[in-house]
Amino acid sequence: METPRPRLTLAERLYLPQVIGGIAVTTRHFARNLALHTLHLFGLAKDRAAAVTTQYPEERKTYTEGYRGAHRLTLKPDGSVRCTACFLCATACPAKCINIEAGEHPDPNVEKYPVRYEIDTLQCIYCGMCVEACPCDAIRMDTFVHPRLWGYQREDFIEPKAVLMERSRILQTRGRDALMEDMQRAYERGEDRGPALGGRLTPS
């Protein structure tokens, strides 16, 4: 059954009350925060918190253990990719942003492997369904880094297999903070390619 749309009043159709209301809310928060920050400078009203902007990526908040960050493809002990190209993650992905091309592995004991594995981070909604769907713990989101923040073309935000594997190598060899440090260093230098960034390292 079709539900009739409610009729808008003249004031609602003009949008002006809503615009003025929005500006009033913003102004109220601005004035409150300005006043509280000024009082804090003089040691007053310390018990009342004022909004603080975290200057990311220079500053970072502490993330909880359940934080879902940029993806990584986990590795076997020999350093090769653990993924068996079963497509379960791509099937479970609600954003349809995982693209896999499966290939025959040269090792007869391994049935398949991903010749190409890419995640379009502009489409990804960071829901974690791919991690949940994977039957062999081949993809994780425990990197504690955001996907890359800057780029000049859509391809800059497509993370290929090489980048996803490199994150696992960095985690294993230099620890979790190294991923973020690499990203911050690259951001300061204005680099647009490199480990942990989501740029293409090598053809995957």
Query: Smaller CB distance to ligand SF4: residue 31 or 149?
Result: 149
Query: Smaller CB distance to ligand SF4: residue 12 or 104?
Result: 104
- The binding site for ligand SF4 (CB under 6 A) comprises 83-89, 92-95, 97-98, 100, 119, 124-130, 133-134, 136, 138-139
CB of 119 to ligand SF4, least distance (A): 5
Task: Please provide the size of the chain in residues.
Answer: 204
CB of 173 to ligand SF4, least distance (A): 22
Q: Are 86 and 135 in contact (CB under 8 A)?
A: yes
- CA separation for the pair 36, 47 (Å, rounded): 10
Tell whether omega for the bond before 203 is within 30 degrees of 0, i.e. cis.
no
What is the full DSSP assignment across 29-55? HHHHHHHHHHHHHTT-STTS-------
For residue 46, count other CB atoms closer than 10 A to its CB.
9
Helix 161-174 vs helix 176-189: angle between axes, to the nearest 10 degrees? 120
Query: Smaller CB distance to ligand SF4: residue 60 or 68?
Result: 68
Query: Smaller CB distance to ligand SF4: residue 97 or 186?
Result: 97
CB of 36 to ligand SF4, least distance (A): 37
Query: Smaller CB distance to ligand SF4: residue 139 or 196?
Result: 139
Residue 146 Cα distances to 22, 179, 196, angstroms:
30, 10, 10
Max CA pair span of the chain: 72
CB of 37 to ligand SF4, least distance (A): 37
CB of 168 to ligand SF4, least distance (A): 12
